[in-house]
Amino acid sequence: MMMANLERLSVKDKVKLGRALIAEIVSGKTYPQLLWGLSRIGARELFYATMDRVVSPQEAWNWIEGCMQMPFSPACLSCVLQLGRRTGDRVRDIEASQRDRLIQWLEANGVGPDGVRMVKEPTTIVRQDAQAIFGEALPQGLILSADF
């Protein structure tokens, strides 16, 4: 989980890590932490790293396909939404035919319009998305500062 949050890892390292995670996931070890890690490694939108640290859309699609083969769960849904999230940048976005397949899978699994919209059109990451990605908020009164 720690490595998954290191957005500045090289793409080569992210691909190695992501492939190891998807191998575990498709072998039946579908722990939510593995899916969360994969979603962070293959995220289309990064929080602080530059766009040259995003894995290729084809690599992300391979991971999405692996996730679509497993039983549907909230962790699986969160993962494929981050991997397939539309950015409006053709360099980072999965292909239109892949996006259509993902949308069909989402709709077949009863995902509501907000989830489908994340794949259909570019959306900004809102506070609720960030909390879902990173987990709990900081305890009240605790403030992160870069003044060191």
Closest CA to 25 of 65, 61, 54: 65
* pLDDT recorded at residue 128: 47
The secondary structure element, H or E, covering residue 13 is helix 11-26
Render each residue's pLDDT in the chain as its tens digit; 148 residues.
777 778 889 999 999 999 999 999 999 877 899 999 999 999 999 888 899 999 999 999 999 999 999 999 999 999 999 999 999 999 999 999 999 999 999 999 999 999 999 999 998 765 445 555 555 554 555 455 545 4
* pLDDT recorded at residue 135: 52
* pLDDT recorded at residue 4: 78
The structural domains of the chain, with segments of one domain joined by +, span 3-127
* pLDDT recorded at residue 36: 92
